[in-house]
Structure 1
Amino acid sequence: MTAVTMHLGEIGQQLRAFRLESGMRADEIAARLGVSRAALYRYEKGEVIKLDTVQRLAELLNISPLTLLGVGFEYYSSPNKFFQKITQIEDDIEQILQVSDPVCYQVTSPAYDAILLEAHASHSEKELRSASAQPVILAQSKRRALYSQRKPSITSMLPENQVINFLTHGVGAGIPMSETLRHKARQVAVQEIRNIITLIDSVPMGLQFSVIPKHITTTSCIFMRRSELAAVAINPFLCDCAVENSAGVAMITSSPEAVATHQTMLESVWQASLKGQDAIECLKNLVAHHGAV
């Protein structure tokens, strides 16, 4: 019964979000669902909803009924759309456990965003000016502010190979840059890793880092929990990727089997990764050998 109630609450939140974002009146949405306005508001509060209404609501939201019920899968071939969805999820998330990126975006500095925007602004190719190729950073720019406001628990595991690549090529490795701007991007990368070293050393409440040794191969994924509701995202896109150079399909699901399997995997990787002083020494060595001077 708990699981059913949990999914009904999630359905209600998605319905309310759609109503607010669509600009449609409540009675218009109710009419499209074939229910009364009073029933619509009850659904938004997480009350029982009929299966045929679930079907119509799924069509309205342009997702599958299984996804709406929390046992399906959502797929994203665009990094912008994926990070927009992640930002939406993080709006009320309580716990994050992730192997994703050589940094934790939520605690990066404003310089991280600034160098990416500068790189995009300096690129003259016409396709980069199109709406479909807007900087990925803009799709997730609220994530840092959300973290500052809500302070969810975050455990971020940084793959050593990704940190090496990050330091070697700098922020936005896949974005064309001038030699001068690339050097600046490498300097920003060094500062971001040094910031993580400081965070590990200070042990802030609810924020943990580790380094995954390069002999361990991992899947980039994010486990997210709010109360009893959990979801997992399998993600091929880096936070600083370039739209035009990114090909892949990200997936988000609340399927209990997928969530449990990935949570177990992430917890195992955490146990095998470098933590505390060992992680600090590893990151310092990587900065010394691969960082920009």
Structure 2
Amino acid sequence: MASKLAEIGQRLHAYRIGAGLSANDVADRLSVSRATVYRLESHGIDRIGLLERVASLLGVSLETLLGVGVEYIASAVTYFERLRQLESGCARIFVAFAPVFSLLTSAEYDEALRASLMEQCTGEIAGRPGPQIVGELMDILMRRKAAFQQAAPNVTVVLSAADIMQYARFGMAAADSSQTDQRAKRSVAARELEVLARHIAHPPIGIQIGILFEPLPSTGFALIRRDGRQVVVTSPFRLAPPLNIQRGIAMISEAPEAVKLYSRLASDLWSGATTGADARDFVLSQAHRA
């Protein structure tokens, strides 16, 4: 019971920051103290009336806060905070994403990501300043990466060969970037692909990486095993080209049918992936062309 309540508190925190609300904002609107808000986020909410008020304030369903059924997420900030929470203390992760695995990227990539998102998100996103959202998101990503490196769960990663080729060709450059900017971003891409090649050749303990030469699903997904449960996460939000933190609906589900189908898909993708020296050589060949 305590763990379920704690998960409600985690969802409250994720949806609060995704809505751009401070603890003071929530406290004022609920007529409670800021300390009470932090306690609710740490220990959860066990009163249905208060749950309903919080759900209404955050613009989500009661079922979403309770974790009943599918959790739908329209905010990249909320999504990556929920992902960070789910990964915390997990035993195993399967990830199918684009040209890089964001939890193993270099500091140079992370800074390039921040700069590119700032260039892309100069206006508003869901009524909030884009640069503010980018700052919040990058803070979450850095905490997520630090926690991952400390916990070191077993991870299987399938990356897209087509996306790697595209990344090598353009880096994170926008279509209207100057030639100088494009060259600089291709150089960053080349160095990051060399980092990826080293991870493939000498993977950190518990990590295996494969390259798929067939098309990956258009929406990235992850399977996360924790506390004897499996969770399916699907997301249109991307931290690699083409970047997207602006639009889309991510989903989180523990439904047995979803877990079964995505587990089968994960197995099929991994069985078709190229690994070892062949995968490393392909990535290095693209790095040299960047």
Tell me the TM-score normalised to structure 1 length: 0.73
Aligned runs of 1:104-119 on 2, under 5 Å? 104-119=101-116
CA contact (8 A) 2:189 2:287 kept: no
- Alpha-carbon distance between aligned partners in 1 of 2:54 and 2:283, rounded to the nearest angstrom: 48
CA contact (8 A) 2:99 2:240 kept: no
Aligned runs of 1:19-30 on 2, under 5 Å? 22=23
* Higher Cα radius of gyration: 1
Instruction: Give the equivalent residue in structure 1 for 2:203.
Output: 203
1:63-90 deviation line (CA, Å, top 9, x unaligned) = 3343344342232334343223323333
Secondary structure at the residue paired with 2:98? coil
For residues 103 and 25 of structure 1, do their structure 2 counterparts lie closer, same or farther at Cα, with a shift above 3 Å needed? closer
Aligned runs of 1:1-293 on 2, under 5 Å? 7=4, 10-11=7-8, 14=11, 22=23, 58-59=55-56, 62-119=59-116, 123=119, 127=123, 131-133=129-131, 134-135=133-134, 138=138, 139-170=140-171, 172-174=172-174, 177-214=177-214, 219-240=219-240, 246-288=246-288, 291-292=289-290
For residues 156 and 266 of structure 1, do their structure 2 counterparts lie closer, same or farther at Cα, with a shift above 3 Å needed? same
| Shift, 1:180, TM fit | 1.9
- Alpha-carbon distance between aligned partners in 2 of 1:145 and 1:196, rounded to the nearest angstrom: 18
- Alpha-carbon distance between aligned partners in 2 of 1:12 and 1:246, rounded to the nearest angstrom: 25
Amino acid aligned to 1:91:
S
Deviating more after overlay: 125-134 vs 140-149: 125-134
| Shift, 1:102, TM fit | 0.8
1:23-50 deviation line (CA, Å, top 9, x unaligned) = 6999x9899xxxxx9xxx99x7799x68
CA contact (8 A) 1:74 1:252 kept: yes
Instruction: Give the equivalent residue in structure 2 for 1:34.
Output: none
Amino acid aligned to 1:145:
A
CA contact (8 A) 1:70 1:255 kept: no
CA contact (8 A) 1:99 1:222 kept: yes
For residues 16 and 257 of structure 1, do their structure 2 counterparts lie closer, same or farther at Cα, with a shift above 3 Å needed? same
CA contact (8 A) 2:96 2:157 kept: yes
Amino acid aligned to 1:209:
I
CA contact (8 A) 2:64 2:72 kept: no
For residues 214 and 13 of structure 1, do their structure 2 counterparts lie closer, same or farther at Cα, with a shift above 3 Å needed? closer
For residues 263 and 67 of structure 1, do their structure 2 counterparts lie closer, same or farther at Cα, with a shift above 3 Å needed? farther
For residues 62 and 77 of structure 1, do their structure 2 counterparts lie closer, same or farther at Cα, with a shift above 3 Å needed? closer
Deviating more after overlay: 208-217 vs 189-198: 208-217
For residues 228 and 81 of structure 1, do their structure 2 counterparts lie closer, same or farther at Cα, with a shift above 3 Å needed? same
CA contact (8 A) 2:168 2:189 kept: yes
> Gaps (5+ residues) in structure 1?
32-36
% identical equivalent positions: 26
| Shift, 1:183, TM fit | 1.4
Secondary structure at the residue paired with 1:140? helix
> Gaps (5+ residues) in structure 2?
17-21
CA contact (8 A) 1:76 1:250 kept: yes
Tell me the TM-score normalised to structure 2 length: 0.74
| Shift, 1:140, TM fit | 2.2
| Shift, 1:207, TM fit | 1.1
Query: How many residues were matched structurally?
Result: 277
| Shift, 1:166, TM fit | 0.9
Amino acid aligned to 2:165:
I
RMSD of aligned alpha carbons? 4.2
- Alpha-carbon distance between aligned partners in 2 of 1:115 and 1:193, rounded to the nearest angstrom: 14
CA contact (8 A) 2:158 2:209 kept: yes
